């Protein structure tokens, strides 16, 4: 019998920074890290590129359109114990006004000083943002 290969769960996260502030959302009613801040994010669907996935999530969660050509890699985090690979992507421009499009799963979508994140920022998100700011491309957790 052929052994099935291990497969990672792949997620993408959007780092949007404007005037020294970063866009964070507070999770609500999801069953995972509720009450804590994260980034616009989601899982990559089968047949979808990382850029396509983050553009889709930006539209679904924040109501903005990001051109695929405007998406850049900021950081990759392997979350070893969880079997996850997280790609943190950034975009310097987008179309539309940022708006909470998923109020049933997010009870705050706001800009925060990138040097002073909320105390209730999810720890691995905080670490990824720190790595992004320090130009560290890859980390393991």
66: CATH: 3.90.79.10
> How many whole angstroms separate alpha carbon 62 and alpha carbon 58?
5
In a domain, 48, yes or no: yes
Predicted confidence pLDDT, tens digits, the chain (141 residues): 788 998 899 999 999 999 999 999 999 999 999 999 999 999 999 999 999 999 999 999 999 999 999 999 999 999 999 999 999 999 999 999 999 999 999 999 999 999 999 999 999 999 999 999 999 999 999
Q: What is the CA radius of gyration of the chain?
A: 15
Q: Quick one: tokens of 127?
A: 């670490």
- Domain for residue 45, yes or no? yes
Rounded distance, CA 52 to CA 15, Å? 15
Residue 4 lies in a domain: no
Residue 109 maps to a domain:
yes
Note down the domain range covering 103: 9-140
pLDDT at 2: 85
Residue 1 lies in a domain: no
Evaluate whether residue 3 is within a structural domain. Answer: no
Count: domains in the chain: 1
C-alpha–C-alpha distance, residues 70 and 45, integer Å: 20
């Amino acid at each position: 019998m052929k052994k099935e290969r291990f497969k990672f769960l792949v997620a993408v996260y959007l780092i949007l920074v404007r005037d020294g502030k970063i866009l964070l959302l507070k999770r609500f009613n999801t069953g995972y890290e509720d009450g804590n801040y994260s980034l616009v994010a989601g899982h990559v669907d089968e047949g979808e590129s990382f850029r396509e996935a983050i553009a889709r999530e930006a539209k679904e969660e924040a109501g903005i359109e990001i051109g695929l050509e405007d998406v850049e890699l900021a950081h990759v985090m392997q979350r070893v114990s969880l079997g996850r690979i997280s790609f943190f992507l950034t975009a310097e421009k987008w179309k539309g006004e940022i708006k909470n499009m998923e109020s049933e799963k997010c009870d705050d979508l706001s800009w925060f000083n990138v040097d002073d994140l909320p105390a209730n920022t999810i720890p691995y998100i905080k670490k990824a943002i720190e790595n992004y700011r320090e130009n560290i491309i890859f980390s393991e957790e």
